[in-house]
Structure 1
Amino acid sequence: MSNKAPVTYEVRTPVFDIDRVVSELAAVRHQWRGGRQRSTEPGGRELPSREAVSEIMAGLRGALFPMRLGPVELRQESEDFYVGHTLDLALHSLYTQVRLELMYVARYEGKERENIDQQALQIVRSFSRSLPDIRSLLDSDVIAAYQGDPAARSVDEVLLCYPGILALIHHRIAHCLYQLGVPLLARIAAELAHAQTGIDIHPGASIGTGFFIDHGTGVVIGETAIIGANVRIYQAVTLGAKRFPADADGTLQKGLPRHPVVEDEVVIYAGATVLGRVTIGRGAVIGGNVWITQDVPAGSHVTQAGSLQQGRTVHP
């Protein structure tokens, strides 16, 4: 038997100087808020919550497609009850978030703070009445994806699996909120899908029926883009701005039309970049990795090598 004494270890509780870090973080926050004329007085949350919007979007997805994106135990005989209950929760939560955004804008842009509750109620009511139209638009997107992809075995597979459809569910909802005057909530809803899919669609973009994003990763669609009906685009396509006008003091001007107009029946293949307020004419086909900064006539086929348009070669 060994006569060695047992080895003992001293366990020390780590010390992180939390009080000091908390104090210094508070000082940085106050400096930030003071520099932007924001209130440093105690109070509740000023901005909408990303977590709350995520829960709202999950509820809305389920309400729009209850037997596919709703709870696994749902039965058709309970479908309407589930939709009603889920919408009631989602819309009440949305009302709270809309009110927060309206209060935020009124506080920091010097707008009237009266009647905000009524404004929020009207926005959510208008949004709720738009849901049947949103569902119809999404049905057209699902059908376009099924018909446009030979690998799709069913419309159910498209709805359950395709990242482009998830991005469009969020976009159709976000675009409605954007039009109703709550752009921050719309942007949060859009960015939730961007984080999951790699598809970046600004909620201001106007998109027609039957839109199909195949694969989708790296797609970017800017705020003032206008996309017609039955358009198909592939991964890594950018519909972006060519330049950003500034005013006399160098501040970027907001809201100007600066993104492309894509007319009906256009196909844009992977890696193509279309910049500026240019128009891609009806039925045009834009080949992969092409860089477009000027209008493309209807029916054109544009490739890296050039395209044949009415008997002549047109280079991008």
Structure 2
Amino acid sequence: MFFGADYLDWSRKKPKLHDYRSNNLCYKNGITTQNYNKEDKLYKVSAFIELMNTNFQKWCVPEENVCIDESMIPFRGRLGFRQYIPNKRHRYGLKVYKLCADGDYTYTLKLYGGKSTRPGTTSVATDVVMELMASLLNSGRTLVTDNFYTSVSLANKLNTASTHLIGTLRPKRKFNPTPVVSVRLTRGEMTALQSNTNVIVGKWRDKRDILFLTTKDVPKMQDIVTRRGTVKKPSTILEYNKSKSFIDTSDQKAAYASTIQKGIKWYRKIIFELLTNTGVVNAYLLFIQVTREKMSITQFREELVLALTKLDDRTS
């Protein structure tokens, strides 16, 4: 049934004055109420993010290695939980914790909404890891993290859930073995110690000391060909570098022909980012995997717009 302009005018004007206060369903103008947790700063986008995560996980089964890191959605407006990360392309914005699978697919994500006031004995980093990895625990996978997340405590926690951990490690983390942290090495040397819970903490000297942790394999030195010749690197570092690139490459694909524009509404930035960047990149990766076609992300965006709007079916 089609309602034209006459219907729109009638919907704004009532026959009698008291009809504006009437409970009659013909005239009642109710405003939909929204139930939400007033302590949740992200209530405007929480349901949307949950929906996107459900769909992301529906169409992908990750390989063994997955990676967790932060990503930034550019935003310079006034907002209590806006972040500054100097090593990101967009230094100011909204921080998103992402779990990416091999092939640069975003499997699940979590938007940072400021410091939590909840009591707890675990760190924020550990909470983020366990939340993002919830559906992948007890499946023999390997999680790769940088030194913000990696700790001996997290490694032990993941061990109980049949999940390996590989990552770089900060020297002052709790339960780090002092002999490894304090030892002095020359360039190319490596040392490591293994705990009775199968957590290996090692140090390798390149241009600087690199402290790392693994619960997967005993690190071994391997020959790698670089621009300065053949060098030796620990196998753990090589696996870390390979898996750590998942999120960087995903963000790089999202930056091509991005539709994100400036705006003062932070929740709009989130919604458009997830729909037109993260969602489109995931769809592109699935399309390439299924069809085996060669297509750039920009061309895929163009084809997607034409398909959704059916512009190619219109006659001039």
Bigger strand fraction: 2
Greater relative contact order: 1 or 2 (C-alpha under 8 angstroms, separation 6 or more)?
2
- TM-score with structure 2 length normalisation? 0.27
Bigger helix fraction: 1
